[in-house]
Structure 1
Amino acid sequence: MPNLESGNANPSLSSSLVAARSNRLAVIERIWSDHSVRALFRGVAWTGGAAAIERLVGLVQAYYVARLLGIDAFGKYGLLFTTIALVSMVTGLQLGLTATVQISRYLTSRPHRAAAVMRLCEFVTLSLSVIGLVAILFAPEAIAHWLLDSPFGGQVIVAGALIALFAVAGGVQEAILQGFEEFARLSIARVVTSLLGFALLLIMGRAGDLTSVITAIAVASMARTLLLFSLKEAATRRLGLRTRMSEIISAAPVIVEFSIPSLLISLVSGLSQWYGLLMVKQGATGFRDLAFVTVGVQWRSAVVFATTILASVAVPMMSRLLASGDTAATRRIHRLNTAANLLAAGAVVVVVLSAASHLLAAYGDEFQSGQLPFTLVVTTSLPGVYIVVLQNLFVSQGRMFEVLMQTIVQGAMQIVVYWVVVPRYGVSGFAAATLFSTFATCVVVHIWVASSEMRTC
């Protein structure tokens, strides 16, 4: 007969359970007593809350635009924004990432150096963005004809160029605020400007054409940039940051040492995917297929955006800790960053794919036939998140050329596989090729990290 009072019959088991519970509490208390860990989670709380609202607004906006424009025009919308992102990478030299890492590294130890890097990044990005805008203004109709198969889309191209300009300028302001670790103010600004952008779209985009939609987004981008600029200048005055022209000039090597490889990383990645999209466009139902890819990329971006919130806080923090020689704290931050991102990525992907048919139906009936490419594109976020988390360590130490080599491997694989697969299998081939190349790169980067000195971090 079983012992109905077994709960009191084994005092040693009870004692071991109490001891285990006490040990867990002690571990949690020890982790939470670490100032860097507490700062990390405060930053994540602000950034995560803002990101959730911003991404939700972005997805609602995408649904609205898809229904407003229809599937073919929505495909053009997606290709245009992929092109805008590529242009922004080139004109911005990826100086936003440079600003975050360098400012966080020198803010307390060498504030004049931090101020010099800040002003250098602002000047270079603004100059290159204006040059890029002027170049586009010479032939907007020709660009529209080549990219969108529309000889009368010059206004769309001009508005898109303005979006690229403000994206670069605003991105640098945001990166500087991250370097200052001004996560609360930055988060509030992101929420306010995302809501303002959606309101402008509802007002200005009612005409239901691509030109009015892109123009509304351009106005919202300008408002965002101005708000971020004012917040950054206020923080600069509050921190008492000053610099001289000689110090700004002396900071120029940062562009070669950090920004150029960072630019090449983004350029290789962006060009390889852009090449695949152009191949999809050449199919019989090109813009319709691009609409399927656009929806998949939006939800993949939502997954990556949600799961790399921690990284946006962790990278400047790890950079600062490494500069101070605190490798133990850096190791803890990296482990938390890895575990949290992978768990979140898995959970979000499962939820999104479980609701795939309902999500696609919300865009419109025509989108439901794109479930296979949608599923494949969203799934690429899983290995993609792991790649980003591992590369955060390289970025925080300024080892950008190693990240560049990893990205070249991925880009080369993508271009070759796109060239072989997309002409035969169309949009589904594009999605499968993207998943294959991302997973293969994930394996390469994991082996790279495991066999390098970075393993100890």
Structure 2
Amino acid sequence: MSIKSKISGSGFVKKLVLGTFWMTFGSLMSRGLFSLASIVLARILTVSEFGEFGMIKSTIDNFLIFASLGIGLTTTKYISELKDDHKQEASSMLGASLSLVVLLSSAVAVIIMLFSGPISGTFLNNQDLQIPLIIGGGTLIFISLNGTQMGALLGFQAYRKNSTANILQGLFLFLGLVIGGYLGGVKGALLGNLIAIFLVSIALQKLVRDESKKQSISVSFKEWKASVRKIYKFAIPASLSTIIVAPTIWVLNTMLVNQPNGYKELGLYSAVIIFSTAIQMFNGAIGNVLLPIFLSKSEGKSPKKEFFNYFGSWIISIMIAIPLILFPEVTSLILGKKFSIEQIVPILGMSIITTLIITNRAGVSRDLIVKNKMWLSVFSMGQWAITNLIIFYFLKDLGAWGFAFSYMISYVINYLVFVPYFINKGISPRIIFYNKWNMILWLMIASLVAVNVYYFDVLFLRIIISVIILLIILFSIFKLYKVCLQKL
């Protein structure tokens, strides 16, 4: 049987392949253009100014949680579950989600504008960031609305429309950030960002309206209070873990920028993680396809589906990360001479390990959503936050290096503690953690990073050792697949 026939003959495979194609293509264009814009911006601005831009972004991300409160994810969940058999209820959920997020985000934007002075002067240690904060507050309204509209498209499984929105977002953001940064520095980049997000919001309204009409669902405000109650029953625990994460990141950022040369160190870290963030693009694209599929009541399960759910995006992320681990010189070349290769290499290695931990446990995160166990995610992120803050408190004098190390170690501890805990609770299968090939893979990944950091100056030696490790990684992936097909 040909590959084309296999794809056409399986509903799951067809949805997964086509959905992943569109989501990956859209994310590749969006994140790729955004990453490119970030690189150009890092070259346009000074290292300190790029740190200021990163600090404003972190601050807005912090407030974004309260502006959206997990409503985008909630919209995906309920639209996925209701769109086929309960269209009126789906219409009510869509109307309630969109109206609620506009009300919340507008209120939070007003708070940011009113308190921009004390925030910039007291917490950010830079009074010049007041105007950028106000601009960011306006952006927050449209980011929140766009997240909910994207969530609705995912719930409809309208992957092609979602891809279109992502592409437009990437294009608008690239133009806005680059032109704005070139003409007006940090303020110009943020203003360009605001205009770009606003244009994306207009495009998304049309895409959601067209898809809703196609599926005989409308934006309805009937049973608004009942729908809001249902939204918050899921959204509050879903957003609490994010409410923990974003403020933690913001506090860590403020601890860093209040050190000598703090904004320069944050600028260094922000520039390096552009590459590990790009790796997560594929994890996000695949996750956005898998979540509505596994939420659907009609979708069956099989060992191959389960393997891809738990390990697919992780393996893809490993393959993408390997060239960056082997040839970190490329990142230095891309970022420019302002960023020292000696500083980049260890930070890049630690950030990649952090990213691979996140992608490895993506399937477990989907299990928590599907089984309505989001409260457990809150405890998990609480541990991560406390550990991260404690470690960085003692390492803050090390700047960007200490920042990357505290992130990595806190995620390592979180993975080793909470994945077994979720398994013991019956949320995820034992085989995804308790098997020797999973452990060998992690050991080889850590070894690959360590070799290329420690022996960075000895090119021939690190390439020879890396080739051996890569062969073991490929063999381990094959054995992991075989074992999981028998156990899942």
TM above 0.5, one fold? yes
1:455 matched to 2:431:
no
Query: Of 70, 76, 79, which aligns to 1:103?
Result: 79
In structure 2, how many angstroms separate the alpha carbons of the residues matched to 1:212 and 1:169? Answer: 23
Pairwise mapping of residues 63-82 of structure 1 onto structure 2 (< 5 A)?
A: 63-82=39-58
Shift in CA distance, 314/344, structure 1 to aligned 2, threshold 3 Å: same
- The letter of the residue matching 2:150 is E
- Per-residue CA shift, 1:303-353, capped at 9, x if unaligned? 112223211110111001xx34x5525x65332122321211111221222
Query: Of 91, 106, 111, which aligns to 1:130?
Result: 106
Instruction: Report the counterpart of residue 441 of structure 1 in structure 2.
Output: 414
Instruction: Report the counterpart of residue 277 of structure 1 in structure 2.
Output: 253
- Per-residue CA shift, 1:352-380, capped at 9, x if unaligned? 22332331343232212531223212321
SS at match of 2:332: helix
Instruction: Report the counterpart of residue 207 of structure 2 in structure 1.
Output: 231
1:409 matched to 2:383:
yes
> For the Cα contact (< 8 Å) 2:32–2:170, is it kept in 1?
no
In structure 1, how many angstroms separate the alpha carbons of the residues matched to 2:364 and 2:317? Answer: 14
In structure 1, how many angstroms separate the alpha carbons of the residues matched to 2:170 and 2:373? Answer: 33
Query: Of 365, 368, 373, which aligns to 2:347?
Result: 373
1:352 matched to 2:328:
no
In structure 2, how many angstroms separate the alpha carbons of the residues matched to 1:44 and 1:319? Answer: 16
Pairwise mapping of residues 324-343 of structure 1 onto structure 2 (< 5 A)?
A: 324=298, 326-328=299-301, 332-343=304-315
Instruction: Report the counterpart of residue 28 of structure 2 in structure 1.
Output: 52
Shift in CA distance, 139/273, structure 1 to aligned 2, threshold 3 Å: closer
Per the TM alignment, residue 148 of structure 1 is displaced from its structure 2 partner at its CA by 4.3
Deviates more, 1:396-405 or 1:353-362: 353-362
In structure 2, how many angstroms separate the alpha carbons of the residues matched to 1:296 and 1:34? Answer: 41
SS at match of 2:157: coil
SS at match of 1:262: helix
In structure 1, how many angstroms separate the alpha carbons of the residues matched to 2:337 and 2:100? Answer: 46
Instruction: Report the counterpart of residue 7 of structure 1 in structure 2.
Output: none
> For the Cα contact (< 8 Å) 1:268–1:408, is it kept in 2?
yes
Query: Of 373, 381, 404, which aligns to 1:399?
Result: 373
In structure 1, how many angstroms separate the alpha carbons of the residues matched to 2:33 and 2:221? Answer: 41
Per the TM alignment, residue 104 of structure 1 is displaced from its structure 2 partner at its CA by 0.4
- Per-residue CA shift, 1:265-297, capped at 9, x if unaligned? 111122222222221112111001101221233
Q: Structure 1: any 5+ residue segments left out of the alignment?
A: 1-24
- The letter of the residue matching 2:234 is F
SS at match of 1:453: coil
> For the Cα contact (< 8 Å) 1:140–1:154, is it kept in 2?
yes
Q: Structure 2: any 5+ residue segments left out of the alignment?
A: 430-487
When the two structures are superposed, what TM-score results if normalisation uses the length of structure 1?
0.88
In structure 1, how many angstroms separate the alpha carbons of the residues matched to 2:428 and 2:173? Answer: 43
1:162 matched to 2:134:
no
> For the Cα contact (< 8 Å) 2:97–2:228, is it kept in 1?
no
Per the TM alignment, residue 150 of structure 1 is displaced from its structure 2 partner at its CA by 3.1
Query: Of 383, 386, 394, which aligns to 1:420?
Result: 394
Q: What percentage of residue pairs aligned between the two structures are identical? A: 17
- The letter of the residue matching 2:354 is T
- Per-residue CA shift, 1:101-141, capped at 9, x if unaligned? 11101110211121111111111110011111112222333
* Superposed CA RMSD: 2.2
Per the TM alignment, residue 243 of structure 1 is displaced from its structure 2 partner at its CA by 6.8
> For the Cα contact (< 8 Å) 1:170–1:225, is it kept in 2?
yes
> For the Cα contact (< 8 Å) 1:112–1:243, is it kept in 2?
no
Instruction: Report the counterpart of residue 384 of structure 1 in structure 2.
Output: 358
Shift in CA distance, 193/440, structure 1 to aligned 2, threshold 3 Å: same
When the two structures are superposed, what TM-score results if normalisation uses the length of structure 2?
0.82
Instruction: Report the counterpart of residue 403 of structure 2 in structure 1.
Output: 430
Deviates more, 1:31-40 or 1:403-412: 31-40
Shift in CA distance, 214/241, structure 1 to aligned 2, threshold 3 Å: same
> For the Cα contact (< 8 Å) 2:310–2:361, is it kept in 1?
no
SS at match of 1:365: coil
Query: Of 245, 248, 253, which aligns to 2:224?
Result: 248
Q: How many residues align?
A: 428
In structure 1, how many angstroms separate the alpha carbons of the residues matched to 2:219 and 2:356? Answer: 43
> For the Cα contact (< 8 Å) 1:68–1:208, is it kept in 2?
no
SS at match of 2:338: helix
1:184 matched to 2:157:
no
